[in-house]
């Protein structure tokens, strides 16, 4: 047993606490935050390799044996999620250091950022259901702070709504925890996976499934409970929207992957058919919402929703190929979506607006930014040879093999509409002549560096899919057959 699994939580927490005291020196804060992020990035990469070589990593806190104490259990999906979290958060942090105004930097942006990472990484790593609730609260409370940072009127009112809907879903989460505890008598996820099939009352098991689908549906912005997302993500500066759009909804998606594969598949019959309906509806309604918008940040926010549909599509098909495609899609989406939001942030920082009808001519003032947006937009729409193509290809192949023709049809339509919507942004904001005369300075080079890192990884992930795919395949196999996960967590008890 090594302490590696706890470090992605412990180090950001230590950094966050230290950063509280450094609030009056922004330059020192930036350095500390960046260094802490890069250290955790290296550790996360090491964690992925450890899991690939040695299998599932388990850490029993306080040496309490598994079903009694709290455990961190890291399989390939968890490790990959932590790694990609650290990649995008490092790039976002780099972007934030040159984009945020002084007031926001001084009012605890960096500590809140680190505490958000504590919550996100904790949610990915934990192997205990109640502990998952606690990490959700950690990340949510940090996200309330980040959303409201700046205290503009629009931010405050949207944060209030965001807080209410999330407090409500946390209440539902606790109802689910109480139900599952009274049915199985345990909260350790591996132990629940063993005991869930033994529940005699199938109706109650179904009720648990409904509660958890609703909870993680709200957190992950699935149809029909996604309406909170576009407004909330429009409110803060684009850096913060980018971080949220990349990471937060994906925590909900990850949790849904986890509970569905461990508890519900094979025990509650209606979960996968319902999820396949939800996946198709989420894709279509999200992309139709995006088509109706004329603001870059809003269009991108609606695309988050439609792409979450693809991730749930992988889960709903539940074959090794489709699940690997779903995992690949999550990673691709986190990188590319954050990159697109950062492009919007760079546009916002130089032009002062992201409204498409007030932009234009960016191709003349910053050609590099235009190129980055073009590549990222194509990757999002799924053009070969970029990362989105590989992920969508696997999902559709998996769907056709299992005869999910309607859902595959919906995903093809969504892909075309996504391309259309990206071209709309490209045409209005970048390609067309200036609609409002602009005579400002060009962008900041550091911003371009951080966007280039993310877009570059998107290209690498597409061209180097042969290298990246084994990791996604391992994650998918561990999801389909969780016996290794369960054995790793409960093994110490058998000894």
Partner 1 sequence: MDVPILLVIAVTLTCGMYMVLERTLLRVVIGLGLMSNGVNLMLLASGGLGAGTAPILHGQRDYGASPVDPLPQALILTAIVIGFGVTALLLTLAYRTYQSVGSDDLGELDGKLTDE
Is residue 288 near partner 1 by the rule CB under 8 A? no
Residue whose CB is less far from partner 1, 353 or 432:
353
In this chain, which of 14, 167, 406, 436 binds partner 1, going by CB under 8 A? Answer: 167
Is residue 175 near partner 1 by the rule CB under 8 A? yes
Q: Bridge partners of 71? A: 60
Is residue 171 near partner 1 by the rule CB under 8 A? yes
Is residue 151 near partner 1 by the rule CB under 8 A? yes
Q: How far is the CB of 400 from partner 1 (least distance, A)?
A: 36
How many Å is the maximal CA-CA distance in the chain?
73
Q: With CB under 8 A as the contact rule, which of the stretches 73-81, 159-167, 429-437, 446-454 interacts with partner 1?
A: 159-167
Pull the structure tokens for residue 354.
């992201």
Is residue 144 near partner 1 by the rule CB under 8 A? yes
Q: How far is the CB of 38 from partner 1 (least distance, A)?
A: 31
Residues 208, 310, 415: CA angle, nearest 5 degrees: 155
Scanning residues 337 to 366, which ones bind partner 1 (CB under 8 A)? 355
Phi, psi of 224 (to 5 degrees): -100, 25
d(CA 115, CA 121): 10
Is residue 20 near partner 1 by the rule CB under 8 A? no
Pull the structure tokens for residue 38.
């890069």
Q: How far is the CB of 155 from partner 1 (least distance, A)?
A: 9
Q: Which string of x and - marks every residue 301-340 that binds partner 1 (by CB under 8 A)?
A: ----------------------------------------
Is residue 17 near partner 1 by the rule CB under 8 A? no
SS (H, E, C) the chain: CCCHHHHHHHHHHHHHHHHHHCCCCHHHHHHHHHHHHHHHHHHHHHHHHHHHHHCCEEEEHHHCCCCCCCEEEECHHHHHHHHHHHHHHHHHHHHHHHHCCHHHHHHHHHHHHHHHHHHHHHHHHECEHHHHHHHHHHHHHHHHHHHHCCCCHHHHHHHHHHHHHHHHHHHHHHHHHHHHHHHHCCCEHHHHHHHHHHCCCHHHHHHHHHHHHHHHHHHHCCCCCCCHHHHHHHCCCHHHHHHHHHHHHHHHHHHHHHHHHHHHCCCCCCHHHHHHHHHHHHHHHHHHHHHCCCEHHHHHHHHHHHHHHHHHHHHHHCCHHHHHHHHHHHHHHHHHHHHHHHHHHHHHHHHCCCEHHHCCCHHHHCHHHHHHHHHHHHHHHCCCCCHHHHHHHHHHHHHHHCCCHHHHHHHHHHHHHHHHHHHHHHHHHHHCCCCCCCCCCCCCHHHHHHHHHHHHHHHHHHHCHHHHHHHHHHHHHHHHCCHHHHHHHHHHHHC
Is residue 161 near partner 1 by the rule CB under 8 A? yes
Is residue 69 near partner 1 by the rule CB under 8 A? no
Q: How far is the CB of 147 from partner 1 (least distance, A)?
A: 10
Is residue 228 near partner 1 by the rule CB under 8 A? no
Q: With CB under 8 A as the contact rule, which of the stretches 118-126, 145-153, 273-281, 343-351 interacts with partner 1?
A: 145-153
Residue whose CB is less far from partner 1, 292 or 493:
292
Is residue 231 near partner 1 by the rule CB under 8 A? yes
Is residue 158 near partner 1 by the rule CB under 8 A? yes
Residue whose CB is less far from partner 1, 177 or 425:
177
Is residue 64 near partner 1 by the rule CB under 8 A? no
Residue whose CB is less far from partner 1, 120 or 465:
120
Residue whose CB is less far from partner 1, 129 or 461:
129
Q: How far is the CB of 150 from partner 1 (least distance, A)?
A: 11
Residue whose CB is less far from partner 1, 176 or 462:
176
In this chain, which of 61, 64, 154, 405 binds partner 1, going by CB under 8 A? Answer: 154
Is residue 116 near partner 1 by the rule CB under 8 A? no
d(CA 293, CA 420): 13
Is residue 291 near partner 1 by the rule CB under 8 A? no
Q: With CB under 8 A as the contact rule, which of the stretches 11-19, 93-101, 241-249, 293-301 interacts with partner 1?
A: 293-301
Is residue 148 near partner 1 by the rule CB under 8 A? yes
Q: With CB under 8 A as the contact rule, which of the stretches 81-89, 133-141, 268-276, 313-321 interacts with partner 1?
A: 133-141
Cα 495 to the chain's mean position, in Å?
A: 37
Is residue 159 near partner 1 by the rule CB under 8 A? yes
Q: Please give the residue ranges that form the binding site for partner 1 (CB under 8 A).
A: 130, 134, 137, 141, 144, 148, 151, 153-154, 156-161, 163-164, 167-168, 170-171, 174-175, 177-179, 181-182, 187, 230-231, 234-235, 293-295, 298, 355
């Amino acid at each position: 047993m090594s302490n590696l699994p706890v470090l992605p939580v412990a180090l950001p927490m230590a950094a966050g606490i230290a950063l509280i005291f450094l609030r009056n020196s922004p330059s020192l804060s930036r350095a500390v935050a960046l260094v802490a992020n890069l250290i955790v990035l290296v550790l996360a990469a090491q964690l992925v390799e450890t899991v690939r070589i040695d299998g599932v990593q388990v850490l029993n806190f306080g040496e309490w044996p598994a079903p009694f104490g709290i455990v961190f259990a890291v399989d390939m999906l968890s490790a990959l999620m932590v790694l990609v979290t650290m990649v995008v958060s490092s790039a976002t942090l780099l972007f934030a250091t040159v984009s945020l105004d002084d007031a926001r930097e001084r009012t605890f942006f960096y500590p809140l950022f680190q505490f958000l990472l504590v919550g996100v990484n904790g949610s990915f790593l934990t192997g205990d259901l109640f502990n998952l609730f606690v990490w959700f609260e950690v990340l949510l409370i940090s996200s309330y702070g980040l959303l409201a940072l700046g205290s503009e009127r629009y931010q405050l009112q949207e944060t209030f709504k965001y807080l209410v809907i999330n407090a409500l879903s946390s209440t539902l989460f606790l109802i689910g925890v109480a139900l599952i505890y009274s049915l199985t008598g345990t909260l350790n996820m591996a132990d629940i996976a063993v005991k869930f099939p033994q529940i005699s009352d199938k109706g109650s098991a179904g009720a648990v499934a409904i509660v958890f689908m609703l909870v993680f549906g709200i957190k992950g912005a699935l149809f029909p409970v996604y309406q909170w997302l576009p407004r909330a993500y429009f409110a803060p500066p684009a850096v913060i929207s980018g971080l949220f759009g990349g990471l937060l909804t994906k925590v909900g998606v990850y949790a849904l992957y986890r509970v569905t594969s461990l508890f519900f598949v094979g025990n509650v019959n209606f979960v996968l058919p319902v999820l396949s309906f939800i996946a198709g509806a989420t894709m279509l309604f999200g992309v139709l919402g995006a088509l109706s918008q004329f603001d870059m940040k809003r269009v991108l926010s609606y695309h988050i929703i439609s792409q979450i549909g693809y991730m749930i599509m992988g889960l709903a098909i539940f074959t090794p190929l489709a699940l690997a495609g779903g995992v690949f899609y999550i990673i691709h989406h986190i990188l590319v979506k954050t990159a697109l939001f950062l492009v919007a942030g760079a546009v916002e920082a130089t032009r002062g607006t992201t409204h498409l009808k007030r932009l234009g001519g960016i191709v003349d003032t910053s050609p590099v930014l235009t190129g980055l947006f073009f590549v990222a937009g194509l990757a999002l729409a799924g053009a070969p040879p970029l990362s989105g193509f590989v992920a969508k290809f696997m999902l559709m192949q998996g769907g056709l093999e299992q005869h999910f023709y309607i859902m595959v049809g919906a995903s093809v339509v969504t892909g075309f509409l996504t391309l259309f919507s990206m071209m709309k942004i490209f045409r209005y904001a970048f390609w067309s002549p200036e609609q409002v005369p602009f005579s400002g300075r060009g962008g900041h080079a550091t911003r371009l560096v951080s966007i280039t890192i993310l877009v570059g990884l998107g290209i690498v992930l597409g061209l180097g899919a042969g290298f990246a795919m084994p990791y996604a395949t391992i994650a998918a196999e561990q999801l389909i057959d969780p016996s290794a996960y369960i054995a790793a967590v409960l093994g110490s008890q058998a000894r």
